[in-house]
């Protein structure tokens, strides 16, 4: 999806916090005014990228914003120092029988034991 950067920025902030972000905080974090923030949040919500739940903060109504999908933890792509071989791979793929991937998973198992 082609998004202007303020939406991307907002999504990144929301994704980085699994517990969610209040809309009343988000516009301060983004350095934009609250009306612009409402439009940004509406776009993300309309695109099904976030959930927006009504929330009361000291009697004032705001929204708690949570990402539908959390950002991927890059460390999940690593087995020790080895990046998962599927990144950049152009072999004919049969995931269940791939010897390259099996080797990597073996490395992963070893690196987890050694931690
Ligand atoms: S499973 Fe094997 S063949 Fe498929 S993308 Fe990963 S490394 Fe490449």
pLDDT recorded at residue 58:
86
24 and 41 Cβ atoms separated by less than 8 Å? no
Give distance in angstroms: CA of 49 to centre of ligand 1. 29
What tens digit of pLDDT does each residue of 10-64 get? 999 999 898 999 999 999 999 999 999 999 999 999 999 999 999 998 888 999 9
What tens digit of pLDDT does each residue of 44-58 get? 999 999 999 999 988
Radius of gyration (Cα) for the chain, nearest Å? 20
Nearest atom, ligand 1, residue 85 CA:
7
Q: Considering 30, 45, 67, which residue would you say is the last residue of a domain?
A: 67
Q: Are residues 61 and 83 in the same domain?
A: no
Mean pLDDT of the chain: 89
59, 77, 105, 111 from 114: Cα distances, Å: 51, 17, 14, 5
Q: Are residues 22 and 59 in the same domain?
A: yes
3-state secondary structure of 22: strand
Q: Are residues 63 and 18 in the same domain?
A: yes
Q: Are residues 52 and 87 in the same domain?
A: no
pTM of the entire predicted model: 0.58
Give distance in angstroms: CA of 12 to centre of ligand 1. 29
Q: Are residues 62 and 30 in the same domain?
A: yes
Nearest atom, ligand 1, residue 89 CA:
8
Domain count, the chain: 2
Tell me the CA end-to-end span of the chain in Å, nearest whole number: 38
User: What's phi and psi for 56, nearest 5 deg?
Assistant: -110, 130
Q: Which domain holds residue 19?
A: 5-67
């Amino acid at each position: 999806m082609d998004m202007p950067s303020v939406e991307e920025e907002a999504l990144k902030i929301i994704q980085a916090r699994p517990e969610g972000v209040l809309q009343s905080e988000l516009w301060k974090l983004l350095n934009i005014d609250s009306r612009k923030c409402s439009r940004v949040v509406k776009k993300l919500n309309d695109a099904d990228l976030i959930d927006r739940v009504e929330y009361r903060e000291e009697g004032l109504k705001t929204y708690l914003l949570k990402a539908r999908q959390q950002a991927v933890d890059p460390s999940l792509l690593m087995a020790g120092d080895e990046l998962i071989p599927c990144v950049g791979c152009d072999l004919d793929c049969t995931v269940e029988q791939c010897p390259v991937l099996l080797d990597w998973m073996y490395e992963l198992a070893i690196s987890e034991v050694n931690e």
